[in-house]
Amino acid sequence: MNLTTDSWIPVIGGDGRKYTVSLHELFADAHEIRDLSAQPHEKIALLRLLICITHAALDGPSNFDAWETCRPDIQPAVKSYLERWRASFELFGDGPRFLQLPGLKASNEDGGGNPATKLDLTLASGNNASLFDNSAGVVRAVEPGRLALTALAFQCFSPGGRIGVARWNDADTSGKGSSNHAPCTPSSMLHTFLHGCSLLETIHLNLLNKEEASELGLKGWGRPVWETPVKTAGDNAAVSNATGSYLGRLVPLSRAIRLDMDGRQMILANGLEYPLAPIFRESAATMVQRDDGTAVVGVSLGRSIWRQLSAITVKRRSKSDPISGPLALRNVGGDQGCTLWIGALATDKAKIEDVVEAAYDIPAGMFRDMGRKLYEEGVALAESWASAVNRSVMAYWVVRSKPTDGGSDVWTAFNNTPRADKERIRKIGEMSEPHFWTVIEQQVPVLIRLADKPEEAGDLKVSEWGKRTKEAAHAALDFACPRQTPRQIQAYAIALQQLFLPKPRDPNAPAKKIALTKKIS
């Protein structure tokens, strides 16, 4: 199978139809293809490959002026490039293989005999969860197109951990049975791409220029790994290009792989070691300043992506500035908005937890300091209401489960509650927050509109966003607190008092005492 001529990339056409294309077909029709149709981590890996091929075909763009005018050149340049490097995109055979190391053989350890399904991070194979896949014990054949896509995503996102040892040109693969994260995985990194009306526009929007990329890491621009193949572990120049340059890292070789043609088995071992942030910055990542230095912004399964947009929309001010959102934001003019697609693979050490994605229409005002500041304040307001819901629900359950004399207050009663009951009430309070976040997430466009023109927003607490957050908090409290018996009604009244204080409570502030009525028998 050759990836330049055989279909393997899932896309969505202009008419909404889903189908697969080869690399040649994708670039020939990129102006008509709407988007890629793949899971978030696979889409990220595909975008990195397409961007890498485009950069290599153009040998640039060299600077921002060249970027502005290069879009018409992409399709003819890539067509010639893929014809020239066709042999490097074979999936099987005795010659060069796409993203597979030459001279790789199984050793006496676990380098061979791995099921090919292990490349698919969504299947129950290896350490992956079996929630949506119950065929972990069955050796399954993977069709070649799917094998190519999962191998590409695996090279980008494979989490670190224990791994087999294989023989590579008569020497053991590195790591002695352990591996580090692939370049796209650390900190459950959020990857952000500008999204256009067509795939051609998306690719163009996310191209960096050589001046911008020269500051990313150790080796500057570099070359794709298929142009400078790594033949042995001692091939220092090729290894340095693959692990330290912009183009070399876009399509990594983090794992040593050799696929069987039947699609059932493979050799799998540790591949090249990739320096991670802050030594090398991934172009689609967002970097922030924390107490211990610069850090990558990652996804949290308990925190929706929209709550981090104020960090993601920071444009890089200079080449030496380590703090910003994705570097391609500099392609967006000062008076322009854009659509951002954001995705991530959530991991806990070597365990894969979930994949996430989101898309947002970002107005020009969000790229300015005042707009981001208002957006941050809007997120903080929502977070304070979420904390108030948490505390109010806790108060409800304190009163409902343990009524006290009228002279006591709800938090004194809580502090006198047995430890096991305290933990139960705390968990109930935490469980009430997702309903609030589910409701308020539907209103995020309201906050984004306010951030576009912050000078017109006025007092945020009484703005449209302030009203929506208050309504969402009230709805979450109603959802969590039944009101069918006298005791439940009493508990709800006290919870409502806790919720609608003059301003949403800081959860770390001293609790306001609210007296309880006498015990209801």
Q: What is the DSSP string of 271-319?
A: ------TTTS--TT--EEEETTEEEE-B-BTTB-GGGGHHHHTPPP-ST
Cβ atoms 19, 11 nearer than 8 A: yes
Structural domain includes residue 516: no
- Asked if 293 and 432 sit in the same domain, the reply is no
Cβ atoms 305, 342 nearer than 8 A: yes
Instruction: For residue 412, give its domain range.
Output: 370-499
CA angle 478, 483, 484 (to 5 degrees): 145
- Asked if 437 and 296 sit in the same domain, the reply is no
pLDDT bucket at 423, cuts 50 / 70 / 90: confident
- Asked if 331 and 478 sit in the same domain, the reply is no
User: Is the pLDDT reported for residue 363 higher than 80?
Assistant: yes
Structural domain includes residue 198: no
- Asked if 160 and 133 sit in the same domain, the reply is yes
Structural domain includes residue 164: yes
- Asked if 377 and 332 sit in the same domain, the reply is no
pLDDT bucket at 132, cuts 50 / 70 / 90: low
pLDDT at 516: 44
- Asked if 380 and 472 sit in the same domain, the reply is yes
- Asked if 317 and 452 sit in the same domain, the reply is no
Cβ atoms 381, 489 nearer than 8 A: no
pLDDT at 509: 46
Structural domain includes residue 200: no
pLDDT at 449: 95
**359, containing H or E segment:** strand 351-362
User: Is the pLDDT reported for residue 521 higher than 80?
Assistant: no
- Asked if 329 and 375 sit in the same domain, the reply is no
Mean pLDDT, range 339-343, rounded to an integer: 98
% the chain with pLDDT above 70:
90
- Asked if 328 and 291 sit in the same domain, the reply is yes
Task: For residue 420, give every residue at least 6 positions away whose Cβ sits within 8 Å of its Cβ, in sequence order, or none.
Answer: none
Q: What are 142-194's pLDDT values in tens digits?
A: 999 999 999 999 999 999 988 989 999 889 999 988 999 999 999 999 999 99
- Asked if 121 and 158 sit in the same domain, the reply is yes
pLDDT bucket at 520, cuts 50 / 70 / 90: very low
User: Is the pLDDT reported for residue 125 higher than 60?
Assistant: no
Which of 238, 270, 302 terminates a domain? The answer is 270
> Number of structural domains, the chain?
3
3-state DSSP call for residue 383?
Answer: helix
Q: Which of 2-11, 120-129, 367-376 has the lowest mean pLDDT?
A: 120-129
pLDDT at 345: 95
